[in-house]
Amino acid sequence: MKVPVFDNEKKEIAKKELPKQFTEPVRNDLIYRAVMTVQSNNRQPYGSYALAGMNVSAKLSRRRRDYKGSYGHGMARTPRKSLSHRGTRFNWVGALAPNTRGGRRSHPPKPERIWSKKLNAKERKKALCSALSATVDKKIIESRGHLLPKEFPFILSSNIESISKTKDVIKMLYALGFKEELDRTDSKTIRAGKGKNRARPYKIKKSVLFVVSKKCPLNSSAANISGVDIVTPDHLNAELLAPGTKPGRLTLYTDAAVDKIAEMFKY
């Protein structure tokens, strides 16, 4: 598959044959497994304090001749602590058990739980190549809601990696025909649920993904544009190419990045 190579003003300077990694059949099942593996491995273990609700001397004996016992009193077997007593009579309050006030949880989250998942190396590589081929399929990309120019798919000249100002990156994207796409991702919605209180109050749509050959000025100049991500080929994964397990993210590759992908993902 041959695609045009554009500069930052949308002038065609060459044509380039995409490597065979971009011709892999799109396998939604493999992409789903690869994305879920990435998300699981990024998950931070969490759990409650092991002694939460148990820092109390609560017990209740059921033996006949034990002092402070419940034998013959018609009492439930809930652990209790005594608040006061007079002779052999006591004032009790339930403690320690999950059904008591201030007691432990019955099945709390445990920090020793292993959240990470494994994926076969060949399966991961095949899923990545499948996600790559979806990024040059115009119908799949538009089904995700991206707004594309008529000339898509195309790749960019490696000179764009030297752009050091955000306004120049926006100007380039406007020239390439992505003004409507940037307008679409400018709008953000308020997240439902507790995430509003946890430093993520807004949901931001995914927009352009730049794949560059190396760390360059574009990494910082494009970082502040809403929905835009920048990555090098050695950090590519299925989640970046298929957010939410749905393949077909709008991706712009530089000329040098395509050559690196052809070398790195040989099969």
198 and 251 part of one domain: yes
34 and 81 part of one domain: no
230 and 253 part of one domain: yes
pLDDT, tens digit, for every residue of 74-110?
Answer: 888 899 988 888 887 788 899 999 999 989 999 999 9
52 and 105 part of one domain: yes
CA distance 21 to 2: 13
Domain C-terminal end among 114, 144, 159: 114
207 and 218 part of one domain: yes
123 and 223 part of one domain: yes
Which conformational region is residue 38 in: left (phi greater than 0), alpha (psi within -120 to 50 degrees), or beta? alpha
**Which distant-in-sequence residues (6+ apart) come within 8 Å of 76 by Cβ?**
none
Q: Domain containing 249: what range?
A: 2-39+117-264
184 and 78 part of one domain: no
Residue 62 has a pLDDT of 83
153 and 223 part of one domain: yes
Mean pLDDT of 229-253: 95
Domain C-terminal end among 114, 148, 172: 114
| Least confident piece of the model among 6-20, 44-58, 68-82, 223-237 | 68-82
Residue 192 has a pLDDT of 94
CATH number of 258's domain: 3.40.1370.10
20 and 58 part of one domain: no
Domain C-terminal end among 114, 135, 164: 114
Three-state secondary structure call for residue 84: strand
Tally of domains in the chain? 2
130 and 26 part of one domain: yes
73 and 103 part of one domain: yes
pLDDT, tens digit, for every residue of 18-53?
Answer: 999 999 999 999 999 999 999 999 999 999 998 999
The pair of structure tokens assigned to 216 is 């360059």
217 and 101 part of one domain: no
